[in-house]
Amino acid sequence: MGSFRTYSFPDAKNIMVCGDIHGEFNAVIYKLCIQYQMTDTLLIVAGDCGFGFDKPGYYDNVFNRNSSRLSKSNNWVVMLRGNHDDPSYFRDEKISHERFRTIPDYCVIQACGRNILCVGGAVSIDRDYRKKHDSSHSVSDIASYWPDEIPIYDGALLEDIGNEIKIDTVITHTAPSFCELISKAGLSEWAAIDPDISSDCEKERKTMDRIFEHLMSAGHPVSHWYYGHFHQSWRSEIDGILFSMLDIMEFKEVPSAI
């Protein structure tokens, strides 16, 4: 898959992680800059940003409307892919403004003394509905489901990262299998129309388990792990790592390591 990318934010004094925003770009920037009046802050959106549901020019217009607000507050918004995102926006870094950008899987963000591994992707439990919706609409550049939505385990890239950088923070869209949500109660209705959904969701979580196990066995000093996807809030310390699940538009601060 090639070498990993690093992104450095030496002027950031704070790091915040945000749960799913589902296309509410203006709202999340307003919350960051106006409602919470944050400055010198790097905001990392943990997937389900909402890229691919509109034509490409729409997202540049969003940035243009908000660029002065971000500049005046000296804030940055960095976004990793969820399952409700067109992966090409992240893989190809189609949004790459200085203060508003998409980032690829297995990149490392360096800020406030932190080395943050970012890995996106998950399974859409409503994918059957989304596939049918897309097949009935023929507008190019716009969709609601992407078959390459799942997270991928890339051991070679993790090895490359470990040879150069010690990861202390992880941000993903979904989570390892031992984290909430663990109940599969909500899957039953979808499984009735999509028989493979339960096993595919299990594979998704096992992929995250493999990433966790690799980081642990390689001796990375991971202390914090943040994720969204499940639209609920939860936190717990497991194996010395504080895992935080973020609800929609929920902000959580990453402690500075400086």
Cβ proximity of 225 and 169 under 8 Å: yes
The answer as to whether 78 is a domain residue is yes
Distance between first and last Cα of the chain: 32
- Rounded Cα distance between 173 and 119, Å, is 7
The answer as to whether 16 is a domain residue is yes
- Rounded Cα distance between 209 and 177, Å, is 6
**Residue-level pLDDT at 189:** 77
The answer as to whether 58 is a domain residue is yes
CATH of the domain at 73: 3.60.21.10
The answer as to whether 122 is a domain residue is yes
**Residue-level pLDDT at 203:** 96
pLDDT category of residue 25 using cuts at 50, 70 and 90: very high
The answer as to whether 1 is a domain residue is no
b/e 124-161 (16+ beta carbons within 10 angstroms → b): bbbbbebbeeeeeeeeeeeebbbeebbbebbeebbebb
The most confident of 114-118, 190-194, 198-202, by mean pLDDT: 114-118
Cβ proximity of 40 and 74 under 8 Å: yes
pLDDT over 70, % of the chain:
97
The token duo for 10 is 């030496």
- The dihedral built from the CA positions of residue 174, 233, 29 and 24, taken in this order, carries a sign that is positive
Angle of helix 155-164 versus helix 197-217 axis, rounded to 10: 30
In this predicted structure, the answer to whether residue 184 has a pLDDT above a threshold of 80 is: no
Range scoring the smallest mean pLDDT among 72-76, 127-131, 203-207: 127-131
**Residue-level pLDDT at 138:** 66
The answer as to whether 108 is a domain residue is yes
Furthest-apart CA atoms within the chain: distance in Å = 52
pLDDT category of residue 1 using cuts at 50, 70 and 90: very low
pTM above 0.75, yes or no: yes
Domain range enclosing 79:
6-254
* Cis-peptide into 215, omega within 30 deg: no
Residue type, 185: A
**Residue-level pLDDT at 224:** 98
The token duo for 101 is 């950008």
- Rounded Cα distance between 63 and 68, Å, is 9
**Residue-level pLDDT at 177:** 97
The answer as to whether 213 is a domain residue is yes
Q: Which tens digit of pLDDT belongs to each residue from 102-145? A: 999 999 999 999 999 999 999 998 898 898 888 887 666 678 99
61 φ/ψ sector (left φ>0, alpha ψ -120 to 50, else beta): alpha
pLDDT category of residue 91 using cuts at 50, 70 and 90: very high
Residue type, 31: K
**Residue-level pLDDT at 135:** 84
Q: Which tens digit of pLDDT belongs to each residue from 141-181? A: 678 999 999 999 999 999 999 999 999 999 999 999 999 99
Range scoring the smallest mean pLDDT among 15-24, 66-75, 135-144: 135-144
In this predicted structure, the answer to whether residue 2 has a pLDDT above a threshold of 60 is: no
The answer as to whether 77 is a domain residue is yes
* Number of domains making up the chain: 1
Mean pLDDT, all residues of the chain: 94
Identify which of 46, 158, 169 has the alpha carbon closest to the alpha carbon of residue 106. Answer: 158
